[in-house]
Structure 1
């Protein structure tokens, strides 16, 4: 219901005369991404950035600063001038998980200006086509027969994908090898190359490879199935009740941005999100629950920070695990 109400409101906003757009940003705009090119965060940043560049009549470029599951990029953006020229494609990793797991150099709530939610996606458990063990029950059995030998990749230590693996591992009571990468791009490359057995990846990054038949989708990690992948079961319905490890993406700027500028940017991002080609692209990647106000996004970040801090504490997850 919230999403439907937002879409109607955003569509109505298109007809408001004289609504000022954020065309007065000084110079080119950078959207900083905390992961390598080709990953889910990178893809969404480029989709949104291209449209904003046209709307704002200026250059909007994506700049990748991978490392520490997005924390390096977040720390960098937190120190930039609050003039709207540098934005961050914030992520569940950088703004909810890393602060509870790593010694980050920023406060995810105090050091940023929330602009807009871009989307929430499941993560996916995947394998290459040559892998014969493809069902959850068979994977659990394989891991139990080979303790400490079956490898699972993720997009980094402390990432949502890593925590999805940890929750799966603990509930299944299995001993596996975690192989962290600096983003989905190198993760998928090694999965396809046979360097790892399985991967927990973002649905955004995995979807093109699934569509091409290069990667097999085994399970997804939200409590509900994504509309774009209705045939892929959730882990929650596959013997792991309550397992919910979604990824989310949203634009933020440094703290201290003028409220009017943040509001105008929010309105323009919302316009982009309801463009038919963008909405279809987001849907194909499983990105749902997009848009909303600056305040709604700020409240969501706070709720996610609380949730993941509790999960990390209860599960005993360590940065070096």
Structure 2
């Protein structure tokens, strides 16, 4: 083989060495490895329930392993920051409740922009809240309870799963409507707060039905009202807030999935399609209904528009309540 021919062969081998890996990469579309779904609250609460459901459906629809990582702390900002700092490659996602988008309005120090630093992918579901009381609190409705609260307000405190959550906004509105300023005690998620409410270390709480209803049904907690315009079909015995004596106290908690900023549009669409299909599964619809929730199926663009409107409404509630970031 002459020198020219050997040179040509070396160049061809080098070219093939460069081209083949690129071709192999193009032939291996996302996803090819485990997807991590970060839930920024402890296990057992409503955020964890919805996050695990999202991870399960992603695994089924995309054909890859998914793991849920509970990273609680600092009102959900620890887990969210981990996702913000992750590579925008579709392998790290955030599953969080509505509180996520309100971080800058309710906390003094948030290490990211809750809206601008994340890519909205899908809203999963929504459901009403329950106005809860330890069984030792007098009254079966809000109206029956209020005289005791007004007589000795220092004896009553509200548990709170996270600043900026739907239940936080509901507690602020409750205090305003009742003319009270009851102490609000923050916790790292619904689970620990509900435990203390059951134990009597707290007296009151407003929390998603999905987490609280089992404790009401077994008699460990008392439900004074549901924060919706109509009674829930799974607990028709619980009055609405209007029937219970506080009309206008209407709130819902919702749950969504985000990726880091810059997540490619193709991956956003694939995750959205997988979650929308998963939420439409009759078994999922039935499971959510049993928790008092309903599925939501939106495009990423619809989810982004919903976030904008929700932040605007809730910011006004905080302004009216003269809330100061913690």
Task: Check the 8 A contact 1:68/1:157 in 2, yes or no.
Answer: no
Alpha-carbon distance between aligned partners in 1 of 2:139 and 2:154, rounded to the nearest angstrom: 17
- Provide TM-score, normalisation by structure 1: 0.86
Q: 1:224 to 1:252 in 2, by over 3 A?
A: farther
Q: 1:269 to 1:23 in 2, by over 3 A?
A: farther
What is the aligned length?
Answer: 298
Higher Cα Rg, which structure: 2
Alpha-carbon distance between aligned partners in 1 of 2:316 and 2:249, rounded to the nearest angstrom: 14
Q: 1:216 to 1:313 in 2, by over 3 A?
A: same
Alpha-carbon distance between aligned partners in 1 of 2:250 and 2:96, rounded to the nearest angstrom: 20
Q: 1:226 to 1:37 in 2, by over 3 A?
A: same
SS at match of 2:99: helix
Q: 1:93 to 1:197 in 2, by over 3 A?
A: same
Aligned to 1:51: 57
Residue of 33, 44, 59 corresponding to 1:38: 44
| More deviation, 203-212/176-185 | 203-212
Deviations 1:70-107 (A, max 9, x none): 23322221121111111111321111x22212232222
Moved over 6 A (4+): none
Residue of 92, 97, 100 corresponding to 1:91: 97
Alpha-carbon distance between aligned partners in 1 of 2:322 and 2:80, rounded to the nearest angstrom: 25
Residue of 185, 195, 213 corresponding to 2:191: 185
Deviations 1:263-294 (A, max 9, x none): 11111101111112111111122222511111
Aligned to 1:123: 129
Q: 1:265 to 1:214 in 2, by over 3 A?
A: same
Aligned to 1:24: 30
Aligned to 1:276: 282
Aligned to 2:293: 287
Alpha-carbon distance between aligned partners in 2 of 1:167 and 1:79, rounded to the nearest angstrom: 34
Aligned to 1:263: 269
Deviations 1:136-183 (A, max 9, x none): 012211111102221221113333222211110111112422221110
The unaligned stretches of length 5 or more in structure 1 are 1-21
Aligned to 2:241: 235
Deviations 1:36-77 (A, max 9, x none): 111100011112212322332222111112223323322221
Alpha-carbon distance between aligned partners in 2 of 1:23 and 1:138, rounded to the nearest angstrom: 60
Alpha-carbon distance between aligned partners in 2 of 1:108 and 1:75, rounded to the nearest angstrom: 9
